[in-house]
Amino acid sequence: MPAARESLLDAAGAVLSARPWPAVTMVEVAAAAGVSRQTLYNEFGGKAGLGRALIRREADRYLDGVDRALSAPAADAERLAAVAEWTVRAARAHPLVRALLTGAWDPRLPAAGRAPGPGELARAVRDRAAGALAPREDARRCELVVRLALSYVIAPGEEPDAREMLRLLSDPTRTAGDR
């Protein structure tokens, strides 16, 4: 029933984009998905289960985007820059991703429950980078780049220049005062 599950999660996401989670009803989600309320309950057990599944799916989608950036046919530095850019774009476009990456849960979103925290996601990105990039050092740099990218999510400003971030991280001759 994976297609039905995805359809239900899509419907829940659409309803959530129109109203805060506390106002979302199972009846409304079932109607948006074109299924019975019982089907929704059978799949998720209740609204809390639906919320957890929605959060898990957003975390998985974020990490899938990281995997796409890391598997691009490009130099390691370009792939790290793509991870940083994806992180900022995903967090700005998707409130659940922003909450997962920052730990700042808006009461209009489903409760975090056992959702992965920001540190856990940063480590997951680092571990994926370790498998995709050449030296182990690039995996550590990937974690640093993601953490820097998150600063742009937490304190919005201009779009980050991910390539400049990498240049600064890679230049051991520069001191903090030079930056």
Q: Average pLDDT, whole number, for the chain?
A: 83
Band (pLDDT 50/70/90 cuts) for residue 115 is confident
Between the CA atoms of 159, 160, 164 and 168, what dihedral angle is there, to the nearest 10 degrees? 150
More confident of the two residues 13 and 130:
13
> If phi over 0 gives left and psi between -120 and 50 gives alpha, with beta otherwise, what is residue 46?
left
pLDDT per residue as tens digits for the range 19-36: 999 999 999 999 999 999
Q: Is the Cβ–Cβ distance between 166 and 79 less than 8 Å?
A: no
Residue 172 has pLDDT above 70, yes or no: no
pLDDT per residue as tens digits for the range 39-71: 999 999 999 999 999 999 999 999 999 999 989
- Residue type present at position 158: E
State what percent of residues in the chain have pLDDT above 90. 40
pTM of the predicted model as reported, rounded to 2 decimal places: 0.82
Residue 118 has pLDDT above 60, yes or no: yes
Beta carbons within 10 angstroms of residue 26's beta carbon = 16
> Any idea what the Cα angle at residue 94 is, between residues 92 and 95, rounded to 5°?
90
Identify the pLDDT of residue 149: 79
Band (pLDDT 50/70/90 cuts) for residue 130 is confident
